[in-house]
Homo-oligomer: A and B are copies of this chain.
Amino acid sequence: MGTTQLETVPEPKYWHLKTVLSEALDSEFSVGEILPNERDLAARFGVARATLRQALEQLELEGRLQRRRGVGTTVAPPRVGVAVAPARPTWPGAAGDDWQPVDAVETDTVPAAVARLLETAAGDRVYLVRRSRVTQGQPLAAESLYVPVAALPGRLEAGVLNGPAGAYAVLGELQSLELDGQDRTVELGSARAEDAKQLDRLPGAPVLVVTTRYVSGGRTTAVAVSTYRADTCRLTFGDSDAVALLAG
């Protein structure tokens, strides 16, 4: 201990900056308020714009900020809690789910990861149903539901598939099957171009990818890949007993 020198912790500037900004957001800003632009902020803190942006990116990742090109940076509202797992297994499109059918097509191009779950071979035909989930005007999630054509009792004509009506048609066929169970995985991903558009984000935006496997008759009958905006969503996996106890 021959020196009084404080332990030199070369904490990165952007990290320190993030902390400072985070505290400022708590104390001096309210939800929806617009921050100064990036050039001004960088100048105010005496750092390059790229460094400032690194801090802003982290805060956006944590759901504290919202940035929109051409508009500015605003203080984000708290994340929305989104119920992901219903109390009891149900098919997608069952009464009471929050999804809006968008369209449906028949195809044979299936992501490798999905094909593995469905145990389909290359070239097998599947219905692809696209849906979206919206609350209070804000798009929360986009979903692709894959159902092997062979898994449904009736074959749907290509003519009826277009648009939301087509999506309803496929979902309707599903309800006639008995659902034995389902399981889910959650992982981090980045939005593909198509999803990004639907989510009102730029391609590559961080998303929480929920993969749901529906089991019927001893085999996987459908797979849903739902991508939730990671900046605005908090996924909830409820236990109805616990919820009931606290609510009562």
Interface residues of A (CB under 8 A from B): 15, 18, 58, 61-63, 79, 81, 85, 89, 180-190, 203-204, 206, 208, 213, 215, 218-220, 230-231, 233-239, 241-243, 245-246, 248
Contact = CB atoms under 8 A, between A and B. Distances in A.
A243 B62 contact: no
A20 B35 CA distance: 36
B242 A183 contact: yes
Given A62-B190, A187-B208, 14 more contacts: A62-B189, A63-B187, A180-B242, A181-B241, A183-B239, A183-B243, A185-B236, A187-B230, A187-B235, A188-B208, A215-B241, A218-B245, A218-B246, A237-B237
6 tightest A-B CB contacts, nearest first: A181-B242, A181-B241, A188-B230, A215-B242, A187-B234, A186-B235
Given A190-B58, A190-B61, A190-B62, A185 B242 contact: no
A183 B237 contact: yes
Nearest to A240: B181
How many copies of this chain? Answer: 2
Contact of A181 (B186, B215, B239): B239
B245 A188 contact: no
Given A206-B61, A206-B206, A242 B182 contact: yes
B204 A58 contact: yes
A90 B63 CA distance: 31
Given A181-B245, A206-B61, A79 B235 contact: no
15 contacts: A15-B203, A61-B189, A61-B206, A63-B188, A89-B239, A186-B186, A186-B237, A187-B230, A187-B235, A188-B206, A188-B208, A215-B245, A218-B245, A218-B246, A218-B248
A5 to B, nearest CB: 21
Contacts of A184: 236-237
Contact of A220 (B186, B246, B248): B246
Contacts of A181: 239, 241-243, 245
A123 to B, nearest CB: 20
Contacts of A190: 58, 61-62
A9 to B, nearest CB: 10
A124 to B, nearest CB: 19
Contacts of A208: 186-188
A146 to B, nearest CB: 17
